[in-house]
Structure 1
C-alpha cells in the first residue's frame, strides 16, 4: 500500500489555513478583554475604537487610497466586514445571554456556502454542508446554557451579523485586490470605511465618548492592533489564497477560543459537555476545509514603493490605485 504525500501547493494551502486560523483564535479573546478592561455598555464606541484608529494607521503606513470602482467596493466591503458586522455582533451579545449570540455567529459558514454558490460558482458539496450544520451544534454545546433566553431583536441581529460577515468574506474573494495592493492596504481601506460607518451611529446612540483609564487604553490598543489590524490582515490574506468557504469555517474556532480563555484566564469552569462541543467544532472546522492545490495560483507582481505591505511578504493583483504623497 502506498501513502500519498502532499505536494508543495497543498502544503502551502495548509500553511495558509493554519496562519489564518490565528485570526478567530485572537477574536476569541475579545470577550475577556471587553469585560475585564473596557467601559461597560459601550458596544458601538468599542466597535469604533477597534476599527477607525487601526484603519487610519494602516492608511498612513501604506499611503495608498482606492480609486474608481474600488471606492464603491471598499465602501461595501467595509460595511459588510466591519461597519455592519461589529454593531450587529455587539447588539446580539447584549440582548442574548447564555451564548445564543455565539451559536448564531456559528451559522456564518452556512451562509458563506450559500453565497459562494451564487457569487463564486463554488460547489459546497455534502461534506461542507454537513460540517456547517454539525459545527453549529458543536458551538451550541460550548456556549449555550440551560437558562438561555431568546430575544427577537437579538436573534435577528445575530443572524444578520453572521450573514454580513459571510457575504463580506465571499465578496472579498470575488473582487480580489487592485494592482499593487496587498492585504495590508485592503485591510486599512476596509477598517477605515467601516469605522466611518460606525462613527455617527455611535455618537447618535451612545453620546460623547467615555473617560478612559490606563486599563481601557491598553484594552483598546490590544483590540485595535492585534485583534483588528493584524487579525483582519491575516483574514484577508487567507481569503486571497484559499477558497472563501474554507476561511469561513475557521470562524468556528472563535467561540472555542473564548471558552478556553475563560477557563484559563478568568477561572471559568469547563463541563464535559463543553469539551465535547469543542471537539465537535474543531472536527467540523477540519471537515469544512478543502486542502489542495489552488486552481489558479496567484503569481506575485511588482509592488510600488508606496505599498508597505510588500514588507510583509504579500502578493498583488490587477487594478490601479492612488498613492498618497
Structure 2
C-alpha cells in the first residue's frame, strides 16, 4: 500500500470521526438552544453565521465563487428553498417536541430517500430491485420511529417527529433538485449562497409568525448553543463532509449519517437526560438495514478493504499500475 493511500485513508478516518461528532453534538446544541431562542429565529441566526463563514471560505479558497449562469441560480434557489429553508425550519420546529437522538435517527433516512428520489427524477440514476427492497425496509424503519398519522397530516396538527420527517424529505428533495439544475458551482459555494438566500426568508417567516428578539433569553448557554450550531455544526463540519465525499465517495461518506444518531443519543442522555425508546432504537436499525441493502455494492468494497487479503491485492494492483 502506497504512502499516499495510507495518508488518504487516515485523513478520511479523521474527517469521518470529526464530522460524526460535530453533527451528533449539534443536534443536542439545537435542542439546548431552543430553550432560549424561538425555533425559526434560531434557525435564521444559524444561517446568518454559516452563510457569512462559508461565503468567506469560498471566496478565499476558490477562484470562481460567483454564480454566473441560470443553472447556478436555479441550483441556489432550489437549495435555498428545500435543502436549507425547508429542512432547517421543520427540524427546529420539530425538535421542540422531540429528542436529539430521535431527530438524528429520522434524518438518517435522508441518504435512502435521496438515492430513491435520484433514481426517480434523474435519468442517469437507476435503482435495482434489491435497492427498491432497501427503500421499503427503510420506510418501515421510519414508520416505527415516527408512527405517522394521516389524520394529523390532514389537520396540520403534527407531532415533533412528523415535522422532522418532513424536514428530512425536504433535505433529500433539495439535494436532488440541485443536481437537476446542472449548476457549475462547487458544493460549498452553492450551499453558502443557498444559505444566504434562505437566511432573510427565514427571518421574514419568523417575524410573520410572531417571533421577536424580545422572546430570546440572552444567556451564555444560548450564545454557546448558537455558536456551536452556526460555526462548528455548519461552517466547519460541512466543508469537512464535502472533503470526505471527495476522498471516499458519497455513498461511503453517507455512513456518517448512521454514526450521528449514536452520538446524538449518547450526548442527549448525558447532557439532557434524554431517553431513546425501544421503538426508536429498532426503527434506526431497520433504516440502517435499508441503507445497507440499497448500497450493498459499496458495502462490499468497504468490507473487502478490511479483509486480510486486501493488502496484498492492493499492493499487486499498485505494482501493475507502476509497470504500466
TM-score band (shorter)? 0.5 to 0.7
**Selected match of 1:192 from 187, 196, 200:** 196
Contact 1:113/1:245, CA 8 A, preserved across alignment: no
Contact 2:100/2:268, CA 8 A, preserved across alignment: no
Shift of 1:225: 1.0
The equivalent of 1:114 in structure 2 is 116
**1:48 matched to 2:51:** no
CA 125–16 in structure 1, closer or farther in 2 if over 3 Å, else same:
farther
The equivalent of 1:30 in structure 2 is 26
Q: TM-score with structure 1 length normalisation?
A: 0.66
CA 239–78 in structure 1, closer or farther in 2 if over 3 Å, else same:
farther
Contact 2:31/2:96, CA 8 A, preserved across alignment: no
Identify the range of structure 1 (260-269 vs 208-217) with the bigger mean alpha-carbon deviation. Answer: 260-269
Structure 1 segments unaligned to the other structure (5+ residues)? 294-325
**Selected match of 1:218 from 218, 224, 227:** 224
**Selected match of 1:58 from 49, 54, 58:** 54
The equivalent of 1:68 in structure 2 is 69
Contact 2:90/2:164, CA 8 A, preserved across alignment: yes
CA distance in 1, matches of 2:237, 2:106: 21
1:1-325 aligned at under 5 Å gives the runs: 19=15, 23=19, 26-40=22-36, 42-63=38-59, 64-69=65-70, 70-94=72-96, 105-117=107-119, 118-138=121-141, 151-152=152-153, 153=156, 154=158, 157-175=163-181, 178=184, 182-209=186-213, 210-237=216-243, 250-268=256-274, 279-289=285-295, 290=298
For the aligned residues, what is the CA RMSD? 4.3
Shift of 1:222: 0.7
The equivalent of 1:322 in structure 2 is none
SS in 1 for 2:209: helix
